Chain A
Amino acid sequence: MKHAIEVTHLTKQYGNHVVVDDMTFTVPSGHVVGLIGPNGAGKTTTMKMLLGLVAPTGGDIDLLDVTVGSRNWGDALSRVGSMIEEPPIYRNLTARQNLEYQSLAVTGGVDDRSIAEILSLVDLADRADDRPKSYSLGMKQRLGIGISLIGQPELVILDEPANGLDPAGILEIRKLLRRLPDNGTTVLVSSHQLAEVQQACDQLVVLANGRMVTQGTTQGILAGRSAHRFDLIVAHADVEAAAKALSLAEIPVVTSDSGRITVEPAADTGGRDLNQLLVGAGVFAESISQATASLEEAFLDLVNEGVNS
């Protein structure tokens, strides 16, 4: 199976309001894929349609090679773990009972060993017999993720799993997500925490205004957004001279901070040209390197392009 999810011309309309507009993307198997976009981009609605919780107005979805809504769809659904909007926790049941219940619902039985493994994986083994009422937000999120892992699903769909977590909690979730493909599990995760998405996901699907703006590897998307930017490191005393030389050559300076100057020259200007320019001005750069855009920068560029297209 090449793709865990294939979405083709997916559309969702409420009255005249189009929430998801002719969206097409794929989620390759065995990867952690980030679904990112601003509020109202259609992330949660798309995830709900993948799980059959929301009926599409148009388009097709193939989930684990089975078309959503088709006869065999139930079989595919039983191989998918999910957490949409909030952790699906019964507050009056303990964490262990929550997992036992989900195990019964997914597999028809309770496998104590598997539940112990999941409790350990989400770091709740010590609090397994407490009711989630007394849990912190991060613990509830972790239990929600644990629930989505019941039955060793081939595909896990998580909507904002790091929502409301502190940095330590976010780090734990990231580590957890990175481990899942080791067992062959594909992960589709939506998030507003772009720095986290950049580190946790190797593939991205970027949405804006209900449309898919771009899809590709995280590295590829970032490289595509930073190919014409360079970081110049010069001595503090040379900053003024370097800035003057760049200005005379009409090379835009993006940022300048304590000897680190980021420039965005024309496409035909490379690092060697910049070095020559600086040497000509009597400035010897300590280093000249191609800058990498942060996912925030790339995301904003992409979303703006998506909105304006």
Chain B
Amino acid sequence: MISSEIFKITRHRTPWAIAGMHLALTLIAPIYYVFKRPADEGDYLSTSIAVFGVSGLLFAAVLGAWFVGNEYRHGTLRRVLAVDARRGRLLATKAGLGLATWAASYVLVGLLGAGAAWLAATVNGDGVVTTMVLREAAGPALGALVTGAMAFALSTILRSDTYAMLGAVTVMIVLGPLAAGIPTVGDYTLYAVTLQLGDWMLDSSIQTPISVGAAAGTLMATLAVLGAGSARLFINRDV
């Protein structure tokens, strides 16, 4: 099962296209800075990280929704399940390989983006500020991971990659910020706790609305409920 899923992922264009588009967007800032020098040396990396982070969140939603949703959309899941009926194992395999694919792609694009930023600075005779790079990148990475996981779970519930992707992005980018205005409850949404943990990773002395432990617990519990619910549906539902 694992080898056939790896075969499918590596032969399909979608993961490569997503990584390629993510890289293309991440390279925009370094290329721009070659022609127009930034006001501050810190901008070389921080601007790249900002673009990398926002686009990474969107591409994580596309990739997360693709693994199962694409199979539902094209009717190929029936054949997969008619060959091997171990649905729980299939879902776990897809989730694990999805996470690995996302992580590999994210790290590779991040490194190439950082390399491009360093190259742009070198061309301009500047240096790059690297002291906060990992902290700056950690928050967006968490946001992308949560969005991708949500898209994956939604694709098994909605049986559609398109709706799952839109659903995950809507929850993280539209509903989350809107719900943040609701007293107390707004601090415990998936968006809010992800943002708080991202802020804490950037600066651990920062004052967050709820404790880091509560935010991490809420995040884990929400993802666990979403994951368990989607797995239960995937295993028991007629295809």
Q: Shortest Cβ distance from B162 into chain A, in angstroms?
A: 16
CB-defined contacts of B14 to chain A, threshold 8 Å? 92
User: Is the Cβ of B239 less than 8 Å from the Cβ of A48?
Assistant: yes
Number of inter-chain CB pairs below 8 Å = 79
Judge whether A93 is part of the interface by a CB distance below 8 angstroms: yes
CB-defined contacts of B78 to chain A, threshold 8 Å? 48, 51, 53, 82, 84-85, 88
Judge whether A86 is part of the interface by a CB distance below 8 angstroms: yes
A73 to B1, CA, bound (A): 17
**Which residues of A in the span 97-141 have a Cβ within 8 Å of any Cβ on B?**
97, 100-102, 104-106, 108
User: Is the Cβ of B76 less than 8 Å from the Cβ of A88?
Assistant: yes
CB-defined contacts of B85 to chain A, threshold 8 Å? 52, 73-74, 77
Judge whether B36 is part of the interface by a CB distance below 8 angstroms: no
How many residues of chain B get a CB closer than 8 Å to chain A's CBs?
A: 24
CB-defined contacts of A74 to chain B, threshold 8 Å? 84-86
User: Is the Cβ of B82 less than 8 Å from the Cβ of A147?
Assistant: no
Q: Given the interface contacts A88-B75, A105-B1, does A55 sit within 8 Å of B238 by beta carbon?
A: yes
User: Is the Cβ of A106 less than 8 Å from the Cβ of B74?
Assistant: no
A97 to B83, CA, bound (A): 17
A147 to B3, CA, bound (A): 18
Q: Shortest Cβ distance from B74 into chain A, in angstroms?
A: 7
Judge whether A36 is part of the interface by a CB distance below 8 angstroms: no
**Which residues of B in the span 26-69 have a Cβ within 8 Å of any Cβ on A?**
none
Beta-carbon nearest neighbor of A97 in chain B: B11
Q: Which of B74, B81, B238 is within 8 Å of A90, CB to CB?
A: B74
Beta-carbon nearest neighbor of B70 in chain A: A90
A80 to B236, CA, bound (A): 21
User: Is the Cβ of B83 less than 8 Å from the Cβ of A90?
Assistant: no
Q: Given the interface contacts A89-B76, A90-B8, A147-B79, does A108 sit within 8 Å of B3 by beta carbon?
A: yes
User: Is the Cβ of B79 less than 8 Å from the Cβ of A88?
Assistant: yes
User: Is the Cβ of A85 less than 8 Å from the Cβ of B75?
Assistant: yes
CB-defined contacts of B7 to chain A, threshold 8 Å? 100-101, 104
Q: Shortest Cβ distance from A42 into chain B, in angstroms?
A: 14
A89 to B78, CA, bound (A): 11
CB-defined contacts of A53 to chain B, threshold 8 Å? 78, 81-82, 238-239
A79 to B159, CA, bound (A): 28
CB-defined contacts of B13 to chain A, threshold 8 Å? 92
CB-defined contacts of A90 to chain B, threshold 8 Å? 8, 12, 74, 76
Beta-carbon nearest neighbor of B86 in chain A: A74
Q: Shortest Cβ distance from A14 into chain B, in angstroms?
A: 9
Chain B 203-239 per-residue mask, 1 if CB under 8 angstroms from chain A, else 0: 0000000000000000000000000000000001011
Chain B 74-96 per-residue mask, 1 if CB under 8 angstroms from chain A, else 0: 11101111111110000000000
User: Is the Cβ of B238 less than 8 Å from the Cβ of A86?
Assistant: no
User: Is the Cβ of A89 less than 8 Å from the Cβ of B239?
Assistant: no
Q: Given the interface contacts A88-B76, A101-B4, does A78 sit within 8 Å of B82 by beta carbon?
A: no
Q: Shortest Cβ distance from B81 into chain A, in angstroms?
A: 6
Judge whether A91 is part of the interface by a CB distance below 8 angstroms: yes
Q: Which of B4, B83, B236, B238 is within 8 Å of A77, CB to CB?
A: B83
A53 to B76, CA, bound (A): 12
Q: Which of A89, A104, A105 is within 8 Å of B74, CB to CB?
A: A89
A86 to B84, CA, bound (A): 18
Q: Which residues of B are in contact with A by a Cβ distance under 8 Å?
A: 1, 3-4, 7-8, 11-14, 74-76, 78-86, 236, 238-239
Ranked 3 nearest A-B pairs via Cβ: A88-B79, A104-B4, A105-B4
